Structure 1
Amino acid sequence: MPAPSQATTRVPEGPALSPWMRLAAAILPVAATAVVGSLSTQAEIEGWYAQLNKPWFNPPDWVFPVAWTILYTMIAIALWRLLGARPRTGPSREGWRLALAVFLVQIALNAAWTPVFFSAHAIGLGLVVVAALLVMVLWTIRLTWRFDSLAAWLLMPYAAWVAFATILNAAILRVN
């Protein structure tokens, strides 16, 4: 029987999650965020949102579901890759855990923005949430880069879209 110190430092063999579990762990939070977004906007797009004053650069309504479908796919792939890049030991493992935690926080902020902005009609609070989301997406990219640069690159269009959404949210707040 190994000594207690050896047992606690033993590195497990094989990946932490099976490929199917890793796929589910990547898809489920992103899909849940997409569902929350869809449910929060359906009644509001032609109602409350249509009545708002919007800046000249507001895209047509059909652009948003197309953009988010592409972005959510890229986000899920990035998360899947990050989950597969899990270091087994050492300081890198703690860095990976931080990257994963920040990734999940930005997904939660993403899920929160749509009900805040659309369902609660809280444009100002929506701006706070989307600005925090932008910071967290950028931090996610920075942390993820160490473990999987392709995953980080997959998040770049998301960061650009969230930056645009932040500007759009601010402009809508200003004109209403």
Structure 2
Amino acid sequence: MNGNRSVGLGASPAVKAPGTSLSIAMLFVFLAIVFGCAAAGGAVTVGNIDNWYAGIAKPALTPANWVFPIVWNFLFFLMGVSAWLAWRAAGSINAAGGALSLFIAQLMLNFAWSVIFFGLHNPGLALIEVIVLDAAIVATIWSFRQHSLLAALILVPYLAWSLFATYLTLAVWLLNR
């Protein structure tokens, strides 16, 4: 691990933190990126809730439809804050580039799941995709940990929910084959 990286909750003293104005602006940039992805996934999903999704068999542990947007909005908020914390601790986009690349990759995989599951109505392919997403989230957590323990830790609820989504996807696929 590079001496300029933090193993604690924030940046090490060797890394100059960005100024307050830039930091606040970047927090909003990260939140905008994350919620932009959320909106795109939601646009694919919403048109399929009352027709296709309502008509398929689901496992007993499937939450009520109203639970999903509440949980996802909270998790997307945590994702944006996590990316911002990793960026701040690293000191720049360049220094956090590898970790942020993994973050963007998992975000694209998150969106892709909605397209595959809800848009294409393909739970089998969505199952394969969500397993890759789970691995990408683990890689992002590990990578963010190189910069900020807090950035890594606040992604753990997202990983837990994604693993639950993996179970739901598997069950939907098995119940509807």
Larger relative contact order (Cα-Cα within 8 Å, sequence gap ≥ 6): 2
Ranges of 4+ aligned residues in structure 1 off by more than 3 Å: 13-17
1:81 pairs with 74, 85, 93, which one?
A: 85
How far apart are 1:20 and its partner, in Å?
Answer: 4.1
How far apart are 1:15 and its partner, in Å?
Answer: 3.3
How far apart are 1:120 and its partner, in Å?
Answer: 1.0
**Structure with the higher helix share, 1 or 2:** 1
1:44 pairs with 48, 54, 76, which one?
A: 48
* 2:163 matched residue in structure 1: 163
**Residue 55 of structure 1 contacts residue 168 of structure 1 at CA under 8 Å; is this kept in 2?**
yes
How far apart are 1:111 and its partner, in Å?
Answer: 1.2
Separation in 1, partners of 2:104, 2:163: 19
**Residue 30 of structure 1 contacts residue 72 of structure 1 at CA under 8 Å; is this kept in 2?**
yes
Instruction: Summarize the Cα distance change of 1:51–1:146 in structure 2 as closer, same or farther, 3 Å threshold.
Output: same
* 1:58 matched residue in structure 2: 62
**Residue 29 of structure 1 contacts residue 107 of structure 1 at CA under 8 Å; is this kept in 2?**
no
* 1:105 matched residue in structure 2: 105
Instruction: Summarize the Cα distance change of 1:123–1:144 in structure 2 as closer, same or farther, 3 Å threshold.
Output: same
* 1:9 matched residue in structure 2: none
In structure 1, the gaps of 5 or more residues are 1-12
* 1:15 matched residue in structure 2: 18
* 1:7 matched residue in structure 2: none
How far apart are 1:82 and its partner, in Å?
Answer: 1.2
Instruction: Say whether 1:120 aligns with 2:124.
Output: no
- The alignment of Structure 1 onto Structure 2 pairs a total of residues equal to 159
Separation in 1, partners of 2:144, 2:24: 21
Separation in 1, partners of 2:112, 2:40: 8
How far apart are 1:14 and its partner, in Å?
Answer: 7.0
* 1:138 matched residue in structure 2: 138
In structure 2, the gaps of 5 or more residues are 1-15
Secondary structure of 1:82's aligned partner: helix
The TM-score, its normalising length taken from structure 2, stands at 0.83
How far apart are 1:40 and its partner, in Å?
Answer: 1.1
How far apart are 1:119 and its partner, in Å?
Answer: 1.1
1:34 pairs with 26, 29, 38, which one?
A: 38
Please tell me the residue identity of whatever aligns with 2:59: P
The TM-score, its normalising length taken from structure 1, stands at 0.83
Separation in 2, partners of 1:70, 1:15: 26
Separation in 1, partners of 2:137, 2:17: 30
Secondary structure of 1:85's aligned partner: helix
Separation in 2, partners of 1:33, 1:128: 20
Structure label with greater radius of gyration: 1
Secondary structure of 2:132's aligned partner: helix
Secondary structure of 1:174's aligned partner: helix
**Residue 58 of structure 2 contacts residue 175 of structure 2 at CA under 8 Å; is this kept in 1?**
yes
